[in-house]
Structure 1
Amino acid sequence: MTQKTVLVQLLASVQQGLVDADDPQAQYLMHCWGRMCRVMGTDFLEYLGYVMPPLLELASAKADIQLLDDEDEVEAVQAQEGWELVPLKGKVIGIKTSTLDDKHMAIELLVVYAQVLEENFASYVQAVMANIALPGLAFFFHDPKAYGAESAELRGLWENTIPKILEVLSAEPAIDTLAEMYQCFYESVEVMGKNCLTPQHMELFMDSAISALDDYKGRVKARIEERADANREEGDEDSEETLYAIEDDQTLLSDMNKAFHCIFKNHGTQFLPSWEKLLTTYSAFLSSEDPTQRQWGLCIIDDVLEFCGDSSYKYMESLIKAPLIAGCQDPAPANRQAATYGIGVAAQRGGSQWTQFVGSVIELLFRAAQIPNARGDDDVYATENACAAIAKILHFNPAGVANQQEVLLHMHTFSLLSSSNNKNPAVTARPDKVFLFVVQALEAETLQGPTANRVVEAVKNLLAAAGVNPLNILTQLGPENSSKGPSMVCLIFLFNLGLIFELHGWLRIYEINF
């Protein structure tokens, strides 16, 4: 008998000996069972009979909630330990958090069992969803691999679940909880995949989103008025409470953004009629002085460009063109990143209607990629997106670029290596530059996976055609020219070029990464 088996049997014996509902051992046992499930995997199935009944009972517990009408009641509840007070439309709700803490722990353990046991947990799914998750709006999904996208069971769960999620999106007053519910929504849509939402679902989602954004704009306006009333000078910091409120709003916008992204990703142009309800709001956000609002608007534009193809051109003049141009020059790196990405996907997905526009912004993209400290930690992703956008224009939609060869010659980005397959002189004439750029890209881990493998193969062919020995190029990074040398990533790259037999000396020479 293994030690694992002895331990599990001991835990089972303790579990059977529990008679008092308040026995403190019960909570510790639940955590132990969760850890044992992770360790044992499907071998844990025979012990579910001990584990599930008390766990389901705790997860089904009803929270003690009181509506407090006057200050005396509020003060009385405040004096008690384990209660939280939540303001709601002029009243105060008291919630006994100790019960909710135990319920939360139990639901988290149910998630563990569902994730680890997968299809073996299927017999519990309906009861958990019907009796625990949906009534408490603590929604979660088991691993979708357990059923597959076309499973009748999964579809049935979804049909019962999505109305509840949409309902709470329109009713949740707490901002941090509302953000979590938007996260719940987009993760659920991601699980269900293509065409999981009906037009009615999309309309309900948009109604909730409009309400949430109206409330958000009201909070922003109130903060502006509060600053004005306080006669605070520019540069004065907000109170800690205000900073927390701003952070909650930013989290909410981020999760709403991801929800829009997920709908567009899985429904494309089907979402446009509902989405158009917010065109006025998008326009206001895109012209806002608040960089967070501008970023939110730009990310939505990116989704329209990426997932709606040539249908996006309908919004080109009214919504998209000016913000993308302004975004490329935005002082906020995140906004430049979003704007340059949008131009790239317009070139790739938008079709010939976008040819003139994407061709006209090449110079703007070059400037965005050449700002001071363009490769610094804050700006590198915006710079990479600008370079990638130029490459996408040249590859997918080059007809609007009048001086294509000149653009290629100025193209200091690794994405252009695809042109080596066409023997473009802008690339083939400088194999040394190409080699060093790719080594640096691998070093920085901006080239990874299958893309890195394709680039390595392209460089190998380029060097062979040019008759260039990469070790001669690598001397430019030698101790006499640099205080740093190539890392193991670089050496692996050279191994992929078939040069590992010449690298033992380099391993001894270099001791630090470049």
Structure 2
Amino acid sequence: MTAANGTFSMQVAPTLVPLLKFYFHEEVRKAAVSAMPELLRSAKLAMEKGVAQGRNESYVKQLSDYIIPALVEALHKEPDTEICANMLDALNECLQISGSLVDEGQVRSIVDEIKQVMTVSSSRKRERAERTKAEDFDAEEGDLIREENEQEEEVFDQVGDILGTLIKTFKASFLPFFDELSSYLTPMWGKDKTAEERRIAICIFDDVAEQCREAALKYYDTYLPFLLEACNDENSDVRQAAVYGLGVCAEFGGSVFKHLVGEALARLNVVIRHPSAKEPDNVMAYDNAISALGKICQFHRDRIDSAQVVPAWLNCLPITGDLIEAKVVHEQLCSMVERSDVELLGPNNQYLPKIVLVFAEVLCGKDLATEQTASRMVNLLRRLQQTLPPATLASTWSLLHPQQQMVLQSILSS
């Protein structure tokens, strides 16, 4: 739907919304569900582009106030697990579009519905576990149960996304609701839960720590032991979420995180030094561990042997798997070089060639730094060209592929 359709959203909504509960036909419900975010999106676009004459934010709010409660109510009555996941997905999109237009009463009803969804989902999983113990249980039913459990994980996945959206939108004012949900979320960290459930639980805490900062410090005692343990989980997605969370806690945890720096380093070390750390399945966890190590170097240098740890971090660069973390890490490196970080440059500037090499690889790579960071790197390289001995510079360039040398020469001479 486009902005031009936005003016019709309010006229179309009363026809489509009741179809969320059209129990005679699943495809009709699915189509109605997928239309909800589109109606809201086009209304918002129409308002922003001035297509809807005389319509302002209250028009979008009116539509949002109609659609979101209707979705929550339909979700409460939805018998089909797959459509339940679709509804949660649509609800999350609607929340992202509506943002702070969603009022506290609606947040309350969404949180209550999430509790209901999680309770019902868990009891369905328990029933299936019981079914596997029956005498007449066979391979065919085993396949069916596996499929049903995958749908259940999709439901939990969408719940995690909705909570992430609410945390990002309302920040610390969402924490009373988070407190209510903690008895539902804490069991998801358990070893008896699936890797996907553990990952979702960790991501929710990561969001709380990142978005609520000081207000989230009170949760560290409860959740950090789980997070530290999960850093070395056998599942790479769980590891990635956990080491990312450690980086967030290192950045925002202040004195509360200080006494855990030693254990955090030990956990990250296991991830970084793993023989298959850079294989495709593990590279995202590896990159996030490098990023977390960088944050410990930045925010807790007084608690580490920085003459050892900072060069070890530099040695792991550049990172090329997680492009979001790559931009963060390479920007940090740039800032450290700009302020002539003593431990980074090393005695007699011995690590400068490695720094030049990292800059070169970042500049020749694809999307490894923001435009701003890249131009800062180019300026630093030009400065280093003037200050480094020609022999050092030549030996550094020789470590680059011919293709990289050409790219770099053209960047530096332009």
If the TM-score is normalised by the length of the shorter chain, which range does it land in? 0.7 to 0.9
Question: Structure 1 residues 238 and 361, CA, compared in 2 at 3 Å: closer, same or farther?
Answer: farther
Question: Structure 1 residues 422 and 492, CA, compared in 2 at 3 Å: closer, same or farther?
Answer: same
Determine which of 125, 131, 140 is the counterpart of 2:15. Answer: 131
How far did 1:457 drift? 3.1
Name the structure 1 match of 2:336.
Answer: 419
Residues paired across the two proteins, number: 370
Name the structure 2 match of 1:304.
Answer: 208
Rounded Cα–Cα distance in structure 1 between residues aligned with 2:370 and 2:230: 30
How far did 1:467 drift? 4.6
Determine which of 69, 75, 79 is the counterpart of 1:173. Answer: 79
How far did 1:204 drift? 1.2
Determine which of 127, 131, 152 is the counterpart of 1:226. Answer: 131
Rounded Cα–Cα distance in structure 2 between residues aligned with 1:292 and 1:406: 36
Q: Which runs of 5+ in 2 are unaligned?
A: 21-31, 50-55, 319-328
Rounded Cα–Cα distance in structure 2 between residues aligned with 1:178 and 1:348: 37
Q: Which amino acid aligns with 2:170?
A: H
Contact 1:442 1:452 in 2 (8 A): no
Rounded Cα–Cα distance in structure 2 between residues aligned with 1:197 and 1:400: 44
1:497 aligns with 2:412: yes
Contact 2:41 2:97 in 1 (8 A): no
Determine which of 388, 393, 412 is the counterpart of 1:466. Answer: 388
1:113-165 per-residue CA deviation (whole Å, 9 max, x = no partner) reads x22xx2x3333221112322465443122343432396222122112222112
1:314 aligns with 2:215: no
Question: Structure 1 residues 493 and 279, CA, compared in 2 at 3 Å: closer, same or farther?
Answer: farther
Contact 1:420 1:462 in 2 (8 A): no
Matches within 5 A, 1:313-462: 313-318=217-222, 320-358=223-261, 360-395=263-298, 397-398=299-300, 401-411=303-313, 412-414=316-318, 415=329, 416-417=332-333, 418-428=335-345, 429-441=350-362, 445=366, 447-450=368-371, 453-454=374-375, 456-457=377-378, 459-460=380-381
- Give the alignment's Cα RMSD to 1 decimal: 2.9
Larger % of helix: which? 2
Give TM-score, length-normalised by structure 1.
0.65
Determine which of 35, 46, 63 is the counterpart of 1:157. Answer: 63
Contact 2:271 2:289 in 1 (8 A): yes
Contact 1:420 1:458 in 2 (8 A): no
How far did 1:265 drift? 0.4
Rounded Cα–Cα distance in structure 2 between residues aligned with 1:443 and 1:171: 54
Question: Structure 1 residues 258 and 401, CA, compared in 2 at 3 Å: closer, same or farther?
Answer: same
What is the percentage of aligned positions where both structures have the same residue? 19
How far did 1:281 drift? 2.6
Question: Structure 1 residues 180 and 462, CA, compared in 2 at 3 Å: closer, same or farther?
Answer: farther
Question: Structure 1 residues 365 and 237, CA, compared in 2 at 3 Å: closer, same or farther?
Answer: farther
1:9-32 per-residue CA deviation (whole Å, 9 max, x = no partner) reads xxxxxxxxxxxxxxxxxxxxxxxx
Question: Structure 1 residues 366 and 196, CA, compared in 2 at 3 Å: closer, same or farther?
Answer: farther
Name the structure 2 match of 1:481.
Answer: none
1:475 aligns with 2:398: yes
What secondary structure does 1:361 align onto?
A: helix
How far did 1:383 drift? 0.6
How far did 1:398 drift? 1.6
How far did 1:302 drift? 0.5
1:282 aligns with 2:181: no
What secondary structure does 2:101 align onto?
A: coil
Q: Which amino acid aligns with 1:473?
A: T
Determine which of 188, 192, 198 is the counterpart of 2:103. Answer: 198
340-349 vs 145-154, which deviates more? 145-154
Matches within 5 A, 1:8-47: none
How far did 1:364 drift? 1.9
Rounded Cα–Cα distance in structure 1 between residues aligned with 2:141 and 2:269: 37
Rounded Cα–Cα distance in structure 1 between residues aligned with 2:379 and 2:336: 9
Matches within 5 A, 1:182-261: 182-193=88-99, 195-229=100-134, 239-261=142-164
Question: Structure 1 residues 177 and 431, CA, compared in 2 at 3 Å: closer, same or farther?
Answer: same
What secondary structure does 2:276 align onto?
A: coil
Give TM-score, length-normalised by structure 2.
0.80
256-265 vs 202-211, which deviates more? 202-211
Contact 1:306 1:345 in 2 (8 A): yes
1:293 aligns with 2:183: no
Contact 2:75 2:84 in 1 (8 A): yes
Greater RCO (CA < 8 Å, at least 6 residues apart) = 2
How far did 1:409 drift? 1.8
Max radius of gyration: which structure?
A: 1
Question: Structure 1 residues 441 and 497, CA, compared in 2 at 3 Å: closer, same or farther?
Answer: same
